[in-house]
Amino acid sequence: MTDVTTRTVGTIDDVNENQLNTLVEQAEQGSIFHRHEWLAAHEAAIDHDPYHVVVTKGNNPVAFLPNFVRDVPVPTAVAERALDALAIRMVSPPKPGYGGPVFVGNERETIDRLFSPSRDGHDARFLLHRIQGFDSELVRYSKQLYAMGYEPRMQQSLHFLSLQDDWETIRENMDAERRKALRKATDQDHEVTVAPLADDLDRTYEMYVANMHRIDGEILPRKFFQELADRIGDRVQVFRASVDGRDVGRYVHVLDDESGVLHHWLTAIADESDFQYYPSELLHGRAIPWGIERGYDRYSFGISSPHFDDSIFRFKDKFGATAEPLFRWEKGLLPGMWHAYDAGRAWYLRKDLDGDLAEG
């Protein structure tokens, strides 16, 4: 295949936008998180160096793997400083952690070329390369990845709800406790509205930040919100719940037309006392039928820690959603340091099963 080339690009701007988006739309594995606009917003707002791999045949991209260089997640400040001093990083998908390989044409001809971050000659600062995505289509690459030295991981999961039935049927199939909560939610003087991210972005971001402080979560920069609103605003919608005229919570949803999934992405429930008004039930209870009306195949409740005793995991279960693994493979690129890190990570997770050190 003399006309096939592989290159690693340091910015998505080095890839033609129309050609990449056409590849994403045609590929079975394509999602909004592979699109040029999403990756450009990520690059502009988040301090991760791009490391995208593009396989081109002739003048057209036929395979693509989005990657960013980021800090290695560790549980202590001491370990963080040590890795920082050594300039050790990892290569992983864009936020929110989705973005496995996409292909058109002959996969056999291109698959080995696509995983260049793990090939001989990779950057010596990389501790590991992570491939991750939510689409079960990625199962088809498991044997190839294993042969290339990648190991499967099941440290996170997603809950998906099929939208093939009508809302009444879906609600009747929920756990009795969830149906009761939905009734209480809608018995109030309530309203749920839907608007693009750009509409009242400042208040949405303020509530999101307050929510992240409340749960001690990672806070994405406001610029990422603004970049998404500017570049792909109609594909990011905010559901807002109010009770007695008071704003009690917002959910940020991503419209993934490429994969047929309506993703609940970010939560913005600023005040814990507002849970008495059932904002989660109000918001999911509006978003699910909204997704049905617009022809989405599935509703995603987002990433969870797959632990039977985790309250969020159980909460999503009771909506009748099915827990599925977040498809993840990892390959250590610095053997000695990688084995030490992997062993330490396993020890830490055993110590605290409610934690998830390998957060995406």
Superfamily of chain region 4-155+327-351 = Gcn5-related N-acetyltransferase (GNAT) (3.40.630.30)
**Res 49 pLDDT > 90:** yes
Which residue has 């991503």 as its token pair?
A: 254
The domains spanning 4-155+327-351 and 159-324 adopt the same CATH topology: yes
When pLDDT is averaged across residues 312-330 and rounded to a whole number, the result is 91
pLDDT at 355 over 50: no
Distances, alpha carbon 40 to alpha carbons 182, 228, 315, in Å? 38, 9, 34
What mean pLDDT value characterizes the chain? 89
Q: What is the pLDDT of residue 356?
A: 44
Residue 294 has pLDDT above 90, yes or no: yes
If 0-12 CB within 10 Å is exposed, 13-18 middle and 19+ buried, where does residue 36 land?
buried
Q: 110-124, 156-170, 241-255: which has the minimum mean pLDDT?
A: 110-124
Q: Give the Cα separation of 253 and 267 in Å (integer).
A: 9
CATH hierarchy code of domain 159-324: 3.40.630.30
Q: What confidence score (pLDDT) does residue 354 get?
A: 46
Q: Where are the domains of the chain?
A: 4-155+327-351, 159-324
For the whole model, what pTM was predicted?
A: 0.91
Instruction: Decide: 197 and 238 in contact? Cβ < 8 Å.
Output: yes
pLDDT in tens, 86-105: 678 899 999 999 988 999 98
Closest CA to 255 of 295, 315, 201, 220: 295
Q: Which two tokens stand for residue 50?
A: 């791009």
Contacts (Cβ under 8 Å, ≥6 apart) of 274: 248, 249
pLDDT > 70? residue 336: yes
DSSP codes, 176-237:
HHHHHHHHHHHTSSEEEEEEETTTTHHHHHHHHHHHHHHHTPPPPPHHHHHHHHHHHGGGEE
**pLDDT score, position 108:** 79
Alpha-carbon 258 to chain mean position? 15
Which pair of structure tokens corresponds to residue 117? Answer: 């971050």
At residue 358, does pLDDT exceed 50? Answer: no
State yes or no: pLDDT of 119 exceeds 60.
no
List pLDDT tens digits, range 184-235: 999 999 999 999 999 999 999 999 999 999 999 999 999 999 999 999 999 9
Regarding beta strands 261-268 and 246-256, do their DSSP bridges make them parallel or antiparallel, or are they unpaired? Answer: antiparallel
| Sequence-separated (6 or more) residues with CB below 8 Å from residue 199 | 238
- H or E stretch at 339: helix 335-351
